[in-house]
Amino acid sequence: LSSKLPDIGVSIFSQMTLLAQQTGALNLAQGFPDYDPPLALREALARHALAPGSHQYAPMPGLPRLRQAIAAQVGRLQTDAPTPDPDLEVTLTAGATEALYAVLAAVVRPGDEVLVLEPAYDLYGPAIRLQGGLPRYVRLPTPHFRPDWAAVRAAVSARTRLVIVNTPHNPSGAVFGAEDWDALAEVLAGTDALLLSDEVYEHLVFDGVPPRSARQHPALRARAFVLSSFGKTYHATGWKVGYCLAPPALTTELRRVHQFLTFAVSTPTQHALADVLEADPTDGHARGLASFYQAKRDEFAQLLAGSGWDLLPVPGGYFQLAGYGAFSRKNDLAFAEELAREWGVAVVPVSAFYHDGYDPGLVRFCFAKEPATLQAAAARLRRPG
């Protein structure tokens, strides 16, 4: 069988989690919390699991009550943008992963170019290629990983069908400011290019900076698929529930694919999420995430202060990038293997986020962990061998 993705192996996240299991290393590699979703959410799921009547197919676009609860929350949080129409602009998907794939399948034709800013989440490139699209990569400048908009402009052409952005950014934590959204709107003005804005870490923006979505920019909102994930927002990566917000015409195209990809998202999980959203009309949970994760960021940085690790600034998300020049001259993959096997901490080498294996000499730690885990990891990271 000739592979459609001959150059693609097992994802780096699966590889590093396996290595952590084999070596007994603490897993700060794959991005997931080592704590559970809020008790109220787990209780709601248990209720719906035990109750009759929530076990058959949900409506294709998502449960109406969950779409309404999402739309209402987005309307409350994004006060300068119109509230999304729950029937025409909100679609539940099997994680943001399905939404990404459905958007690409819905809009990318063979030969279309799709702009990707690197380092980039690993699925973008392969998923574009599976549609016959041509990923066009633009590197984000280190160490701040904010786009060089002149370089982005130079890469956009009449063949650009879609631009993918991710803010807060995985792996760097970089966050778009209002000036980035303005620059992107300027780059796209006069083109037919659509926008896929991957905002799965939308609430994790630190240091008092208010989160800003592509939806809050009128020119971008008109051409944007905006993705979020309850996996990130509710510490429930294993539930695989996410959603896409998009104007009605774009949502129609997304749903044409979604109905044949998964058709619908699991029903009891949707009811459980609707319960907790309806019970939180002031959005305390979402609004509290920034301080919750900022405390983890700060604790991890403090634990590693003076240790030789070169910690990059983390404006958002739940990953810490770190330079290791004080410890090793190895390439990042070889050093990540050493870290798991000899130091007892699993990380992700940042070259995994570049299609050409470019190695900026950084590793990624996930700090969505209990304080005890961060402390144990830091003790190992301070004491090689």
Give whichever of 20 and 187 is closer to ligand GLN, judged by the CB atom.
20
Among 108, 140, 200, 374, binds ligand PMP (CB under 6 A): 200
Binding part of the chain for ligand PMP, among 237-245, 251-259, 352-360, 361-369 by CB under 6 A, reads 237-245
Residue 13 found at the interface with ligand GLN (CB under 6 A)? yes
Among 44, 66, 106, 121, binds ligand PMP (CB under 6 A): 121
Binding part of the chain for ligand PMP, among 71-79, 93-101, 154-162, 250-258 by CB under 6 A, reads 93-101
AA identity, residue 49: A
**Residue 333, phi then psi, degrees to nearest 5:** -70, -45
Among 15, 166, 269, 351, binds ligand PMP (CB under 6 A): 166
Q: How far, in Å, CA of 244 to CA of 228, rounded?
A: 7
Widest CA span of the chain, in angstroms? 59
AA identity, residue 110: P
Residue 229 found at the interface with ligand PMP (CB under 6 A)? yes
Residue 95 found at the interface with ligand PMP (CB under 6 A)? yes
For residues 105 to 134, the per-residue mask of contacts with ligand GLN, x marking binding by CB under 6 A and - elsewhere, is ------------------------------
Q: Which of 230, 261, 256, 233 is nearest to 243 (CA)?
A: 230
In order, the DSSP letters of 222-273 are: TTEEEEEEHHHHTT-GGG--EEEE--HHHHHHHHHHHHHHTSS--HHHHHHH
Tell me the two tokens of residue 211.
Answer: 């989160």
**Residue 75, phi then psi, degrees to nearest 5:** -60, -40
**Angle, helices 371-382/284-303, rounded to nearest 10 degrees:** 20
Number of H helices, E strands in the chain: 14, 13
Terminal Cα distance for the chain, rounded: 44
Among 23, 166, 170, 373, binds ligand GLN (CB under 6 A): 170
Among 37, 242, 323, 360, binds ligand PMP (CB under 6 A): 242
Residue 361 found at the interface with ligand PMP (CB under 6 A)? no
Residue 237 found at the interface with ligand PMP (CB under 6 A)? yes
Tell me the two tokens of residue 190.
Answer: 């006069």
Give whichever of 27 and 78 is closer to ligand GLN, judged by the CB atom.
27
* Binding site partner of 30, from ligand PMP, ligand GLN, none, Cβ cut-off 5-8 A by kind: ligand GLN
Residue 73 found at the interface with ligand PMP (CB under 6 A)? no
* Binding site partner of 168, from ligand PMP, ligand GLN, none, Cβ cut-off 5-8 A by kind: none
For ligand PMP, the binding residues (CB under 6 A) are 31, 95-97, 121, 166, 170, 198, 200, 229, 231, 237, 240, 242
